[in-house]
Amino acid sequence: MSSVTPTEIKEEFFKNKIGIAGIVILSILILTSIIAVITIPVETFKEWNNPGSWISYPKVAIPVWVNLFLSEKIPEHKILESPKINYDNAENISVTYHQFGINFDYDDFPNDFIYEFSAKYSGSTLLQMDIIRPDGIHLKLLSTSLPNLDSNSIHSERIFSTDDSIKKNLILQSSKFSFSLDNLSAEDIVFSKTEKQEPLKGNYVFLIKMYGNNSENKIQDSKLIIGGKAFGIMGTDELRRDLAVGLLWGTPLALFIGLVVSIASVVLGLLYGVYAGYRGKKTDEVMMRFNDVIYALPALPFLIILSVTISNSIFVLVGFLMVFGWVGIAKVARSMSLQIKTRGYVEAATMMGQTDSKIVLRHILPQLLPYAFASIAISVPAAITTEAGLSFLGLGDPSFPTWGQILHDANVYGAASRGLWWWILPPGVMIAVTGLAFVFIGNALDSIVNPKLKR
Amino acid sequence: MTLKRYVGTRLVTMFGVLMITLLITVLLVGSNMDSILKQGVVFQVRSEITENPKISESFSSVDEFESFVQMQIEQRIKTLGLDEPWYSPQRIGLTMYKILTLDFGRATFLTSDSGSSDVKEIILEKLPRTILLFTTATIIISVIGIFLGAFSGSRVGSIVDRLTSSFAVISSSFPVWWIGMLMIFLFSFVYQIFPARATPLIPSSDPNYIGSLLYHMALPLITIVMIGFGSWAYLVRNFIVGIMQEDFIIAKKTIGVDQKKIIYSHALKNAAPPIVTILALSLSGSLGGAIITEAVFDWPGMGRLYFEAITVMDLPIIIGATYILTVFFLISIFIADLLYGYFDPRVRVG
C-alpha cells in the first residue's frame, strides 16, 4: 500500500483518459437528474402506476424520431388541446365553435380519433362535429343532442371514432368516395383519398359546433386526440405510459441507490475492518467470524425474502443492500490496518498514550481513504444492478419507477418477443452507462492507489 | 493451524451460517406460514366431514354441526402443535428440524410437472435443469476465459489484450438478464432461430424431451457465456501478468524455453489455485443469479420456481428453495476455501 496525497491523486486522475470519460458520463447523468427533477413534477411520476392518468396516450407507440429514418412515415399520436374558439349569437340561438387544425403528413392511417370535452350549458343543446379535408371536401361526422340540463351545470363526454353514428353519417356520404366504405373504420375513411383507400396528406380541420338557446353556453375543456403509432422521444409502453418520464426519473433514483448504498457500506466496512485489525487478538477473531457469516449468506434469495415479507420500500431496500455490501471491504480494510498498525508513527502515538479512537480516526483511517474512494466507485454498479434485478423480479417499490421496473413490465408484456425495442433498450443502456461511469472512475482511482495493476 | 483444524473451523462456520439463514427465513415468513397451515387444517377437516355424509346427518341443527366442526379443527390444531404461537421456541425448533431433514411440506399453489405438490419432489425435478444449464455455462466460460486470459496475459498491450480488458469492463456492467431480453429480441423476433421461451413444449416423458430441452437451452447458454467470459479472461490475464514477472519465469525465458510452453504449462500451473477457487465460487454465484436469468428465459429450473413461488407467495417452496440454494452456496464456498487452503498453505497459518 502506498501513501498518496490528495493532490497527487487529482493530478494522476486527470491524466487518465478513462477516468475523465467516467467523470463526463457521471456529470451528464447528474445533469439529467437535475433536469428530471425540475421539469417533471413529482406528481407525474407518482402517477406512474395509475393507469387512469395515462389514458390519452397511445399504447406501445414507437418513438417519434424513428420517422426520420423511414420513408413511409408512421402517424404520430397528437393531443390537441388549444382549439380556435368562436362564438356566434344570432336571435335565440347561440353557437360555440371549436376548431382544431392538424397537419397530417404520414403514410398510414391514424389508429382512431377521440374528442374529449366538458361543456357548461343549460337546457338542450346540439353538438355537431364536421371535418374539412385538404381536398376541400366537407364531411359531416356527428350531430348529437346532449342531455338536457336544468341549470348551468357541466356535462363531460368522450366521443370516440368508433361511435356508430359517425359510421352511419359517413356511409350516408359514401357518394364522395369511389370505393365501398362498408368494412372500413371511421378514421380510415376520413383520412383517405377519394379515389382509393390511401392516406391523404395535408391540413385537416376538425370543427366542433355546439348549438343552444342560452348565450352563456360554453365548452370548457376541449381536447382532440388523433391516435397514432408514434409518440414522444422514448415512445410509450403497453400501459400507455410515456417512457421518457420513467427513464428520466430513473436517473436520480439509480444514482441515489448506488451512491447511498456504496458510501454507507464502504464507511461501515472500513470502520469495522480497521477496528478489528487494530484491536487484533480475540476481538479480531470474533469480528472476523461474524464477517464470515454475513459473507456466506446468499444475498439475492435473502433480499427477495426480505422485500417480500418486510417491505418493498426503496429506503428499506437500500438498508438491506448495505447489510450485504460492507463485508468484502471490511476484510481488505482489516488486513490494511494490520499493516499500518506496525508502522512507527502509530506505535509512537500508542506510546504517547493517545486513545484508541483517536489513533484509528487520525492515523489509520486517512491512510485508507484513497482505497475507500476507489471501492465506493467500484461498488456503485453492483448496488444499481441488484436493485434493478429485484425490481425486474417485480419486487420494486411501486411508488418509485426505476429502470428495473420498466424492464419488469416489458418482460411481463413480452416486449422482447414482440419486437418492442424502445421498451427494452433504453432502460438497460441507462443501467449499463451509469454502471460504466462508476467503473471507469473506480478503475482510474484504483490504478493510482495500486500502481501494480497499471501494466 | 493444521489442515484438519482449518477444515474443522470452516465446517463449524458453515453450519452456523446455515442455521442462521434458516432461523432468519423461518422468523421472516413464520407468521404467514402459520396462517397458511391453519387454513390447511380447516380445509382438511371440512373436506373429511363432507366426504362422510353420515356425520352431518347425525346432527339435528346447523349450529350443533358447526360447533362440532369447530371442535374438530381445534383438536387437530392442538395435536399438530399449532395452538402455540408461531414464534414459540418449540415450533421454531420443530420447523427448523423439519427443514434440515428436507421435509418442506406441501406447496400451496405450485406443482411439479408430474402434478405432485410435495415441495421436495418439485425441487428435485427442477434442480437438475438448473445444474445442467449453469454448470455447462460455467465450464464453457472458464475454458474460453482461461485460454483467452493466458493469451492476452502473455501479450500485454496487444490488440487482443486491450479488447479483452475493455470487453471485461463493459460486459460486467450489463445485467445478464437484460442481455437476455436483447437476445430474445434478436434471435426469436428478428431472426427466428431460437424459441423465446426456454420451456420445452413436449411433456418430460417424451423420448425427444432431452433434445428439445438442449435446443431450448441454447439461447440462455449463449447469453450467460457471452456476459461471463470477459471478466474471467480479465482475471486470468491479471494472474498471468503477475506470474510472468516472477523470477522463475524470467529464468526460464533466459535459458530459452519456448514461450508457449512457459505460459501454458508453467505460468498457468501457478495461477491454478486462485483460478480453481474462483471457479468454485462462481458456480455457486451463478446459482444465485439463476433466479433472474431463468425468469427471463423461462428456463424450467430452480430460479424460475423461486420466481413463481414469490409471485404467488408459495411460502413452503420459498423456504425450501432458499434452503437448497443456501446449501449449494455454502458447499461451494466450503470447497473453495478448502482448495485455497490446500493449494496455498499460507492461508491456513494466517
For the stretch B309-339, pLDDT in tens is 877 777 788 888 888 888 887 887 777 777 7
Q: Which residues of chain A lie closer than 8 angstroms to B325, CB-CB?
A: 298, 301
pLDDT at residue B344, rounded to an integer: 64
Residue A453 has pLDDT above 50, yes or no: no
Per-residue pLDDT tens over the stretch A142-160? 888 888 877 778 888 888 8
* Range from A93-97, A287-291, B224-228, B261-265 carrying the lowest mean pLDDT: B261-265
State the residue for C-alpha cell 402434478. Answer: B115
Residue A243 has pLDDT above 50, yes or no: yes
pLDDT band for position A263 (cuts 50, 70, 90): very high
Per-residue pLDDT tens over the stretch A403-413? 999 998 888 88
CB contact under 8 A, B310 and A310: no
Q: What angle do the packed helices A421-449 and A6-15 form, to 10 degrees? A: 130
Per-residue pLDDT tens over the stretch A162-171? 888 888 888 8
pLDDT at residue B288, rounded to an integer: 64
pLDDT band for position A24 (cuts 50, 70, 90): very high
pLDDT at residue B350, rounded to an integer: 44
Cβ atoms of A263 and A419 closer than 8 Å: no
pLDDT at residue B238, rounded to an integer: 81
Task: Pick from B36, B86, B181, B184 the residue to mutate for testing the A interface (most A CBs within 10 Å).
Answer: B181
CB contact under 8 A, A297 and B17: yes
pLDDT, mean of residues A430-452: 82
Rounded to whole angstroms, the Cα distance separating B326 from B334 reads 12
pLDDT at residue A30, rounded to an integer: 93
Task: Pick from B154, B178, B235, B347 the residue to mutate for testing the A interface (most A CBs within 10 Å).
Answer: B178
State the residue for C-alpha cell 426469436. Answer: B188
- Which residues is A126 bridged to in the sheet? A145, A211
Mean pLDDT, each 10-residue run in order, chain B (350 residues):
75 81 78 73 78 72 79 79 73 79 77 78 86 86 87 82 84 84 84 75 72 83 86 83 79 80 76 74 68 84 83 80 82 77 60
pLDDT band for position A27 (cuts 50, 70, 90): very high
Buried b (16+ CB within 10 A) or exposed e, B242-259: bbbeeeebeebeeeeeee
Rounded to whole angstroms, the Cα distance separating B121 from B139 reads 28
Residue A260 has pLDDT above 50, yes or no: yes
CB contact under 8 A, B196 and A416: yes
CB contact under 8 A, B20 and A297: yes
The rounded percent of chain B whose pLDDT value lies above 70 is 92
pLDDT at residue A398, rounded to an integer: 82
Average pLDDT over chain A reads 84
pLDDT at residue B206, rounded to an integer: 72
pLDDT band for position A257 (cuts 50, 70, 90): very high
pLDDT at residue A427, rounded to an integer: 92
pLDDT at residue A433, rounded to an integer: 92
* Range from A99-108, A387-396, B207-216 carrying the lowest mean pLDDT: B207-216
Q: How far is B16 from chain A (nearest CA, A)?
A: 8
CB contact under 8 A, A301 and B292: no
Q: Which residues of chain B lie closer than 8 angstroms to A381, CB-CB?
A: 172-173
Per-residue pLDDT tens over the stretch A297-307? 777 878 887 88
pLDDT at residue B285, rounded to an integer: 65
pLDDT at residue A262, rounded to an integer: 93
Residue A5 has pLDDT above 70, yes or no: no
pLDDT, mean of residues A344-371: 81
Q: Which residues of chain A lie closer than 8 angstroms to B311, CB-CB?
A: 394
